[in-house]
Amino acid sequence: MIPRNLSNPFFVILLAVSQLLLLMGSACDRSPDAPATEQHTGPMEDTYLGVPSHEITDAAVDHLQTWYPAIIDSVEGGYYTNFEYDWTRSGQQPRMLVTQARGLWTAARAATLFPDEELFAAAAGHGYRFLTEQMWDEENGGFFNYFRDGSAVRSTPYKMAYSNAFALYALAEYAKINSSDEVLEWVERAFDWLESASHDPRHGGYHNLILSDELREQYRQDPDALGIGGWGQPEWKGQNTNIHVLEALSVTYQVLPVPKVRERLAEMIGLIRDVLTTPEGHLNLYFTADWDPIDHSDSSRAYILENQSLDHISFGHDIETAYLLIDAAESLDGEVDEQTLTVAKRLVDHTLAHGFDDDYRGIFHSGYRFEESGGVEILSRSKSWWAQFEGWHTLALMHRFYPDEEEYPIAFQNMWEYMQEYLFDHEHGGVYNNGLDEDPGSRTDRKAHQWKGPYHDGRALMYIWQELQK
C-alpha cells in the first residue's frame, strides 16, 4: 500500500471520478483541495539521513496526487502538458514525445510501487495507448517528436534519438506492470528502430538527430532551416542523448533480457564511463562521430562564453549520470563493478566540489574549467528543479556504497532543507522551475510544460521512499 492513505474518502472519490471520465472521454482537472497530510505510522525510522521520514513520504504522495489524474486528457488523448503556477490548465497543449513518455514512465513506476492504487495503472495504460496509437510513424518507423493531428502547436520534420529513447524507457517500465506479448513487442520494436536509425556500428553510441537525405541537404544549405538549434550538429554525438539511451537500455534489459540488448547496454556503460567522462570527473557535452570532444578550452574567454551552449560542464547531468551508470551496471550483472562505481563516485565528488552552492544549498546549472584560472568557474547560478532532485537522490545512493563518508548525508540533508525553502511551492503544490533564491521569477512560471513533467522529481521521491521501506 502507498504509505499515506491514498484510499481516504477524498481520494476514493477522485479515483472513481477519474476512471469515469476516462470512460466518458471527458477531461479531468486537478482538485484545488489536496487531502490533509497524514503522518506515516508504519515501520519507517523517524529520519532518513537526517531528513524527517514523514516529510519525504508526504512529498512523494503529494507529488503523485498533484500530477495524476490532473494530466490525463481523455478527450484528445495522452497527457496535458501545460499548467500555470497555480495548476490552472493552460490554453495551449502541445503533445511532445518526451513529455508524453515521461508521463507514462512516472505512472508506470508508481503503479509498480503502489499496485493497490488503480489510478496509476489506468493512467499508464492511457499513456501507452496514446504513444503507440498516435505517435508512432507507421510509414518510416520511430516516434514523432510531436503529435501530428493538424492542430498541434509545433511539429518537426526530423526525429531524435533522445526523444525515442524516452519512449523506449517508458514502454519498458510499462512492461513491468503489463508484460503482455503486445507490450513486449512494442518494447522490441522501439529498440530495433533506435538501433537501425541512430546507432553507430563503427564508433559506438548514438547520433541524436535522425534526418532523411532530403533534410540533410536542407541543413547543408541552411543550418537554421530545420530549427535544430540546441542539439549540436547532425554528425555530432551528445552527452545528453547518450546518457538517456543508457537509461532506456537499462530498463529495457530488465524486461527484454536478450543478447542484442545486453550487448548494447554493455557498450553504453563502457562509453559513458570511459569516453564521455573526463579524468577530472565531469562529462564532455558534445563529440565528433568518432568521440573526439568538442573542446573550446584553448580559445579565448570571449569565444568560450559566446559558445558555451556547445561546451560547458552541466553539473546536474554529471551527478545524474552517476546514478544512471550504477543503475545500468546493476541491470546488466546484478551488481555494480568497481570500475563503474569509481567513475560514478568521481562524477558525484566533482559536482560536490565545484557545482554546489555554499553548504550544499543547491546545484548550479553550469560551469567551465578555464585554463587561465586553473579551476571551475560558475557560468550560470540558476538551480533547476531537475538537477536538485537528481542530485539529491544520487547522494543517498552514494551513501549506500560509501557509508563512512560524511559528506554525502550532510549534503543530502542540506539539499532537502534548501528545496523545502526555495523549490517546493507550499501554497499551490508542486515545485518551481528553479530555486527562488537565484530565480525569484519562477514563483509565477508554469508548473508544468513540455520540458517539466512528473519524471525527475517523481523518480527521486519514489526512489527515496523505497529506501525508507528497507
Residue bearing the bigger pLDDT, 85 or 234: 85
pTM: 0.90
Residue 279 near residue 342, CB atoms below 8 Å: no
Q: Residue 1's pLDDT is what?
A: 52
Q: Residue 458's pLDDT is what?
A: 98
Task: Indicate the residue type of 310.
Answer: L
Task: Name the one residue in this structure whose C-alpha cell is 524527517.
Answer: 52
| 462: its cell numbers | 519514489
Whole-angstrom Cα Rg for the chain:
21
Phi/psi of residue 213, each to 5°? -60, -40
Confidence of residue 155 (pLDDT cuts 50, 70, 90): low
Exposure of 204 in the CB half-sphere (CA atoms within 13 A): 16
Average pLDDT of the segment spanning 360-372: 94
Axis crossing angle, helix 259-271 with helix 181-198, rounded to the nearest 10: 50
Task: Name the one residue in this structure whose C-alpha cell is 551496471.
Answer: 329
Q: Residue 202's pLDDT is what?
A: 97
Q: Residue 197's pLDDT is what?
A: 96
Determine whether domain 9-468 maps to CATH 2.40.50.1020.
no
Q: What is the maximum alpha-carbon separation in the chain?
A: 65
Residue 421, Cβ density class (10 Å: 0-12 exposed, 13-18 middle, ≥19 buried)? middle
**pLDDT reading at 203 higher than 90:** yes
Phi/psi of residue 66, each to 5°? -70, -40
Q: How far apart are CA 182 and CA 174, in angstroms?
A: 12
Residue 402 near residue 395, CB atoms below 8 Å: no
Q: How far apart are CA 160 and CA 197, in angstroms?
A: 10
One DSSP character per residue, 188-221 reads HHHHHHHHHHHB-TTT-SB-SEE--HHHHHHHHH
Q: How far apart are CA 90 and CA 92, in angstroms?
A: 6
Least confident window among 33-42, 302-311, 349-358, 369-378: 33-42
Confidence of residue 13 (pLDDT cuts 50, 70, 90): very low
**pLDDT reading at 132 higher than 90:** yes
Q: Residue 18's pLDDT is what?
A: 41
Q: How far apart are CA 89 and CA 301, in angstroms?
A: 44
Q: Residue 26's pLDDT is what?
A: 34
Overall size of the chain counted in residues: 470
Average pLDDT of the segment spanning 215-242: 83
Identify any residues that bridge with 89 across adjacent strands, giving them in sequence order. 83
| 59: its cell numbers | 512529498
**pLDDT reading at 427 higher than 80:** yes
Alpha-helical segments (H) within 82-146:
97-113, 118-134
Residue 278, Cβ density class (10 Å: 0-12 exposed, 13-18 middle, ≥19 buried)? middle
| 176: its cell numbers | 513491468
Residue bearing the bigger pLDDT, 30 or 302: 302
Residue 119, Cβ density class (10 Å: 0-12 exposed, 13-18 middle, ≥19 buried)? buried
Axis crossing angle, helix 259-271 with helix 239-255, rounded to the nearest 10: 150
Domains of the chain, by residue range, sit at 9-468
Average pLDDT of the segment spanning 47-68: 97
Percent of the chain residues past pLDDT 90, beyond the cut: 80
Q: Residue 219's pLDDT is what?
A: 81
Q: Residue 15's pLDDT is what?
A: 42
Instruction: Give the mean pLDDT of the chain.
Output: 90
Residue bearing the bigger pLDDT, 4 or 157: 157
Average pLDDT of the segment spanning 412-438: 98
**pLDDT reading at 424 higher than 90:** yes
Note the pLDDT tens digit of each residue in 252-294: 999 999 999 999 999 999 999 999 999 999 999 999 999 999 9
Give the E-state strand segments of 316-422 in sequence order: 366-370, 375-380
Average pLDDT of the segment spanning 316-345: 98
Average pLDDT of the segment spanning 108-114: 97
Identify any residues that bridge with 245 across adjacent strands, giving them in sequence order. none
Confidence of residue 214 (pLDDT cuts 50, 70, 90): confident
